[in-house]
Structures are given as structure tokens and as C-alpha cells.
A and B are shown apart, each in its own frame.
Chain A
């Protein structure tokens, strides 16, 4: 039987890591610009975070502490799977606590707790091109970026307003980075867009299938596109988290029964648990606590 390979630290070989690090450095030097890189075939499917995994694998060291979230939660299956992958191939420490992590790989959310200097947020990106659904051809969209030709995007947002009375983009809401490139923030809800602006943390974006890496360096302007008379606004929830009572956070809707019963809970599970540990109680937990006493 053929001898199968033994794998390098963090799976990728050092040459590949160097290639990816060069792409990352270029991305940091040109905030918001999509740098083509020779994405590798990873042992997990395309579309499941191969870009983010390659970025994380290229920057992670034995001293790092890794947190992986999907939909804001540490225990969603794909987050569990990616975390287990790095435990296996890099044997690094992992955590669910946002503040303890040096690298946070995420899909679809930015943690509620403000990120700090020295932390790196790695986004998994399905379609890196913000103009893709307006113009399917890569040859065209690259030209549009080069010429800073973003009129089409504003027309799209304007048409939303004309048709629906508001901008109907709720996630992957386009932003302008450092006053130059229009960038896709990955499919995070627009609720998270303001957290990208002047963030103390380094934000790296990896799109494996589409072979692109881009970045927002710390302390960079990230502005959500809008109009003077229709300013950008984020989602607001009418009730606080049912478990921890948090307000001004992003909530998931959980269906309780088939009679329309539902509750809203924090999408960021670590944030929610941390609040509950500090004695915050939401309305669903309050009666249980009383009964126990």
C-alpha cells in the first residue's frame, strides 16, 4: 500500500504559506483590493471556509489561541469541524472566549465584544466580488475596480429605494475601504458593518474557491455605501435577548412551537454566556431562576 503523506504544521507546506503571506501583505498594503492567490485544494469542500482556513493556516503559530465561529456561535457544526481541524494539524490552543483569542475565524458574524489591538479576524468569503451580481464577468469587474467605476452599485441601491422605499440589502452590504475600493464584507448582516470601521484588529478575508484574499488593516475607514437622504442604518431588534437580556446585539429567532411562538436570543453565543455568568438574566430564564429558588 502506498505511504500516505504526513502533514506539515497547520497542514499547508511552508512554500504555500509564504505564497499566501505575500498575498496577505499585498492585501494589507492595498486595503479592500482583492489579491489573486493560488488557492490550494483543501481537505474540506470549497464553499465551506477553504479561503479562511488557508489564511488562518498561513498566519497561525504554536503560541496562538484560536476561536472559530459560524453564525456567531462556537458550536455550529462547521465551526466545530474547522476548530477540530486546527487542533489536529497545528495542535494550537482553542477558546470560545473572544477576548482570549489571538485569531478568530468567522463565517457570517463579527463578535459583539469589541476586538482589540493584536487580534486578527479571519473571514470566510464565498463571493469576494461586491459587483458580481451586477456584472458576472471577472474581466469586467476588475476593470471597474481599476477605474473606480462604482456607479452601477449606487444605481442598484437607488433602484432599491425607488422600488421598496429603502435599501433592501440586509447582509453582504457593500462598504468603501480607505476611500478607494468597494468591498464585500462577506455575508455578515449589515448590523456588523460599523464594527469594521476603525477596528483595532486586523481583518483578513479569504475566498478559496474564487482564489482571492483581501484585507482591512487596523484603524482603517470602512464606510457603508448610502445616500445623504437615505443614510445607512443597521437592523434594530424590538426586544432584548431572551436569555441574557442584552440590547443592541444581533439576535437569532428561535421557533418554539407550531403556534407562532418564538424567542429571540443572542447570535453571539460567547457574548450571551459571558453576560449570563455576570448575572444578566433575560425574560425566558428569569421565571426558571425564581422557581428554583
Chain B
């Protein structure tokens, strides 16, 4: 005898209990601490902060721990917390030229003011599994040099002296930076909102789109003008004081992509730019973002829009991994009411076909063919 399924509530509670058990794993092993995650899984923490759009290492690490290392789940946790926070102001635009750089490389100049600085990069490591990491061997202190104080000028400023590169671009004096978490998205978007969406966009999605432009789907001839990683000051203008006060420093990765541009009816031949700025250390994300940003400027620069990466509505509607994962995974929710409707329809259509066949080859397709 069929008994109507009851007990969804108990099932959910038990599932959560089992999840908590699996998250903790073997109790005879020490639990991983938030500090350990911040210190030793720093790039995972950075990704969570970047795509959750919330700069807080401790909370990001908590989210990584709570999500068992599922970074999109961690991003989701942190976003759902961020959305409850009050907005008390908009910071002054961050000055990346004043960055305390830890890494700075340019692919367009052999040497330049401020020099090339490799910093903590995987770039020239040989990807050989390191058996010494199976245990906890002592690690050498890094080599340090005292800051030279030399101004690490931005590559775009070097090219700007010759007028060869487009300027930073300006918004009208009274322009207030948009906030895509507070206003519904509308297309076409301003570049401020577009860059916001890209900055929180899924790293993998932007990587694939950036890659597609390199393979010819909306090619834009990129050079890495520079990538820099380091700390910048965040300042807030306080109305009562009349000057900006520092809120603290954050680590960011900035990429300025310099793109060859032959000119169009709208703009003279010059170098154009794609821009990427990401919380924490993530060159892959910053570079992908700048490739996609440049691709999305096709229309503004009078280029043909032919490839997915150039299509604003396509890119921005699908770049958010929290939205994407929610909608893809909602397919596992019950759909049996709709499925029942489809079942009935397919049965009816098949019955019709069978009846037509039985009634003596009254197949309209066949007739038409004859």
C-alpha cells in the first residue's frame, strides 16, 4: 500500500547532521583552524573574497571551512552574508599607481621605472610534486630588500606620454559609481557596472572566454602592459571632515592589457586597453577579466560584434557562478507536476500515431512524400 511520503523535515535534519559529520571528517585528526586556512590556503581565500565581493580573510576562511573546500559554495556563503551589510559610503577611487608592489611584470617593456619584480609566483616553478611537503620541513625565510621608494609608474602612463594609448576615460563630474548589488541589471550597461560584474564573475568562465578571444573568437591582439600585485590604501571621503580618511589597506591584483587597434570610424589608430582588478592575488582572474573587458568594448570602439566574448548580455548574464550554480542545481528539485503533464502529452501523441497507423496507413508524411 502506498503511503504518502511524509517526513521531509526529518530527512533534511538528518542530511544536515550527516553533512556536519562529513565536513569534520575523522575526529582523531585535529580540526583545521581558520588561521591555518588564511595562512596556508591563501589563494583559495582570495578567490572567495574576490567573487563574493567582500574583503574579509577571516570570514572567507570560515566559509571555505564550512563549505568543505567547495569554493563556489564558500563564495555563496560569503555573498549571502555581504548582502545583509549596510552601505555607508563609496570609497575614493583606489590609486594603484601608489601600490606597495610585491609583484610587477610587464610584457611590453624590457625594463621600466620601478623595474620588473617577480614576487611570489608559480610561473617558473617546475610542476613536480614536492615530497618534502608530505611532512612539515622548515622553510627558508624569504630574501628581502628595503623599499627603494622609487615610484612604480603604471605602463599606461608611459604610453600616455606619447599619446599612443587611450586615456583612462572619464565619467561626468556628478557620476555616481553604480552598484549592481543594489540596482537591477539593465542592458546595455555602463563600463563601471560591467567591470563590477566581471570582478565578481566566475574565474573559470572568464578564463574560458578570455581564452576564446585568443583563439580567434573576437581576437583583440593583447599584450600584458603590466600585472601588479600589492597593497593599496582604501580611503573614504567623510562629509563632516572635508578630507579623505584611510580605512586600511587591501591586497589587489591589477592587470592592464594593451591592445593593438587599427582604428575605426569611431576612434583613431592607437593602443586600447582592457582592465582587470581583483581582490587578493589572482593573476589568472585579473588577466582573463581584462581580455573580456576589452572584448566587451567592441561596440564602443566600432568593431564588429561576432563572438560570444564580445556580447555583453551573454557574458554578464552568465558570469555569476552563484546564480549559475543555483539555477543549474535547482533541476534536482522536484518537477513531477510538470513532468506528469509532459508524460500525458507524449502518451497522447503516441496513441494518436498508433491509431493513425492502425486505421490504414493514413500517414500524412508518407502522402506528402509520394
Residues of A within 8 A of B (CB): 1-2, 4-5, 7, 13, 36-43, 45-48, 50, 70-72, 75-81, 84, 107-109, 126, 137-139, 164-166, 168, 170-172, 187-191, 209, 211, 235, 242-243, 250-254, 256, 263, 265, 267, 269, 272, 284, 288
Of the candidate stretches B76-84, B166-174, B276-284, the one touching chain A is B76-84
Residues of B within 8 A of A242 (CB): 2
Q: A138 CA to B79 CA in the complex, in Å?
A: 25
Interface contact A38-B182, CB-CB below 8 Å? yes
Interface contact A254-B58, CB-CB below 8 Å? no
| B1, B323, B333: most-surrounded residue (chain A CB, <10 A) | B333
Q: A1 CA to B337 CA in the complex, in Å?
A: 46
Q: Which of chain A's residues has its CB closest to B311's CB?
A: A137
Q: Which of chain B's residues has its CB closest to A45's CB?
A: B326
What 5 A-B pairs are tightest by C-beta distance, nearest first? Answer: A46-B326, A47-B330, A45-B326, A170-B341, A36-B184
In this assembly, does B368 line the interface, its C-beta being within 8 Å of a C-beta of chain A? no
Interface contact B327-A13, CB-CB below 8 Å? no
Residues of A within 8 A of B181 (CB): 38, 40-41
* A245 smallest CB distance to B (angstroms): 15
In this assembly, does B192 line the interface, its C-beta being within 8 Å of a C-beta of chain A? no
In this assembly, does B56 line the interface, its C-beta being within 8 Å of a C-beta of chain A? yes
Contact of B337 among A36, A211, A267 (CB under 8 A): A267
Total number of residue pairs linking A and B with CB closer than 8 Å:
150
* A165 smallest CB distance to B (angstroms): 7
Residues of B within 8 A of A165 (CB): 352
Contact of A5 among B2, B11, B81 (CB under 8 A): B81
Residues of B within 8 A of A (CB): 1-2, 4-9, 11-12, 34, 56, 58-59, 76, 79-86, 181-188, 313, 317, 322-323, 325-330, 333-338, 340-345, 349, 352
Q: Which of chain A's residues has its CB closest to B6's CB?
A: A75
With A43-B80, A75-B7, A252-B336 as contacts: A170 and B184 at CB distance below 8 Å: no
Interface contact A48-B333, CB-CB below 8 Å? yes
Q: A37 CA to B345 CA in the complex, in Å?
A: 36
| B186, B317, B341: most-surrounded residue (chain A CB, <10 A) | B341
Q: Which of chain B's residues has its CB closest to A272's CB?
A: B4
Q: Which of chain B's residues has its CB closest to A47's CB?
A: B330
* A4 smallest CB distance to B (angstroms): 7
Given A40-B83, A45-B330, A284-B2, 11 further pairs, Cβ under 8 A: A38-B184, A46-B323, A48-B326, A71-B334, A75-B6, A107-B333, A108-B338, A126-B330, A170-B344, A252-B336, A256-B2
Residues of B within 8 A of A5 (CB): 81, 84-85
Interface contact A2-B322, CB-CB below 8 Å? no
